[in-house]
Amino acid sequence: MTLVNLFLAFLYVGLFAIGGGYAIVPLIEKQVVERYGWLTAAEYADILTISQLTPGPIALNCASFVGARLYGIAGSVIATLASILPACIVVALIAKLYSRLHGRSEWAGALTGLRGATVGLIAAASLSLFVKSVFAEGIATFKILGFAVDPVAALLFCLALYLLRKKNAGSITVMLVCGAIAGAIHLAVK
């Protein structure tokens, strides 16, 4: 019975999770903490912290974590499946619509607007992640005028951008290399 509840709770999360990211944090909290009481508020806060440090969208991370807590691997699979099912159906339908509308000239105008907006959003995401990694307690932190600044993270950002744009390095390699350098510097400083 509760396995069904688990499925329904995350189906609900998947259905109403518009925009993604931190917009849906309270939505999940309502289901998992308030409605079903599967996690305490403190445990939920822990998951949020972990989600920032691990790969994957926050909704999926919560689903896997809660599912695994309650029913092990089966629970994890079911909760994950439920949380992506609505999106998969909707997006597949939109993809059909997209290819049908493609030749029409008004649609081309709308697409120009959409593409512009996407570039703006991507740039904003880059800025926010840059601020999050550089102006925070991190690998080797300094206080400047009361602000925490991490010059190592700033240098790694520059190194990564250089490797990507000038050396045409693979993005996965660059991320792993920067992670390894940060780990090594942490050990050296400490």
Partner 1 sequence: MPVKELARSGAATSKKPLRKNKFFILWQLFWLTFRISAVTIGGGYAIVAVLKRELVDKRGWLKEHEMLDYTAISQSTIGPTAVNASLLVGQKLAGVWGAAAAVVGSVLPPMIVMTALAYFYKLAAESALVKSALVGMQAATAAVIADAAISLGASVWRIGRVFAISIAAIVFALAAFTGLSTSILILGAGAVGLLRSVKGSGKVK
CB of 105 to partner 1, least distance (A): 5
CB of 102 to partner 1, least distance (A): 9
Kindly list the distances between the CA atom of residue 71 and the CA atoms of 15, 46, 57, in Å, as whole numbers in the listed order.
23, 20, 21
Give the integer Cα–Cα distance in Å for 38 and 106: 49
User: Looking at 3-11, 25-33, 180-188, which segment touches partner 1 (CB under 8 A)?
Assistant: 180-188
Task: Please identify which residue in 8, 41, 124, 148 interacts with partner 1, judged by CB under 8 A.
Answer: 124
Give the integer Cα–Cα distance in Å for 81 and 129: 28
Task: Please identify which residue in 41, 100, 142, 170 interacts with partner 1, judged by CB under 8 A.
Answer: 170
Q: Quote the tokens at residue 46.
A: 């822990």
Give the integer Cα–Cα distance in Å for 39 and 32: 6
- Measured from the CB atom, is 35 or 95 closer to partner 1? 95
CB of 146 to partner 1, least distance (A): 20
Please provide the distance, in angstroms rounded to a whole number, between the alpha carbons at the two ends of the chain: 51
Give the integer Cα–Cα distance in Å for 68 and 74: 7
Task: Please identify which residue in 54, 103, 142, 146 interacts with partner 1, judged by CB under 8 A.
Answer: 54
- Residues in 59-98 that interact with partner 1 by CB under 8 A: 59-61, 64-65, 67-69, 73, 76-77, 80, 84, 86-88, 90-92, 94-95, 98
